[in-house]
Every structure is written in structure tokens, then in C-alpha cells.
Amino acid sequence: MTSRVASGIDIVEIERFSLVDPAIRRRFINRVFTPAEQVECAGIDEHFAGKFAAKEAVSKALGSGIGKVSWQDIVITKDPWGQPTVTLNRAAAQIADALHLTDWSVSITHTRKIAAAVAVAVSSK
């Protein structure tokens, strides 16, 4: 048996979230983030930016980017200790299954201006 490692990385300017027109912001947040993700973000731009970067990083690890998978196909939530976790649905889950990617690790970091995330997935086939 061989293993495979897939990775992705993304960086986002936090200010992009605060500069979104309020009329567009609600639609954007509802399109990109699940209700659970929205609750965890609590309206805080750096949290939205971090989850956004994590979704992008996961889509890159899948080799698909956003487009073949939708934003809500990739769910980034926290475990009881605050560690980001990945849940894949629909197209993202199908791609991960086809690539035999079963175990995921995501890390998110922030400065005052940017949020960044890296995602790593491994398979056993």
C-alpha cells in the first residue's frame, strides 16, 4: 500500500470582509458559510477570513479549487479544543473519495491584516 499526501494553502486580507457593501455582505456570507460556521464566526471578520482561507486551502488540496466544489461542500468548524476540523459534503466528498483522501488537518492563523490557512490530507491507498 502506498500513501498520498495532498496540501493546499491560502492567504486572505481580512479588510476585504469589512469593506464588503452591507447589502452584499449577508448574501455573500450565506453563500459561502454554513449556519454552523456563521455561528462560530460571530460576525468577526478575522474569523470569516480564516475559514474562507481554510476552504480555499482544502479545495486546492483536492485539486479542484472552488468551482468544481461549492463553498458549502467544505465545512470548517472547531472541535471542543478549538482546533479547526474539515467536513466534506457532496462534490468535495466525492473528489476526496476518488483520491482516497481520508484524514485531514487544517491550521489557520491571523495577523491584524491577514488570515492564512494550510490544509493537508493523507490517504492510505
Q: What residues act catalytically?
A: 60, 110
State how far Cα 37 lies from the chain centre.
10
C-alpha 61/C-alpha 93 separation (Å) is: 12
Q: Output the CA angle 65-69-73, nearest 5 degrees.
A: 120
C-alpha span between 70 and 94 (Å, rounded): 12
Count of CA atoms in the C-beta half-sphere (13 A) of 88 = 23
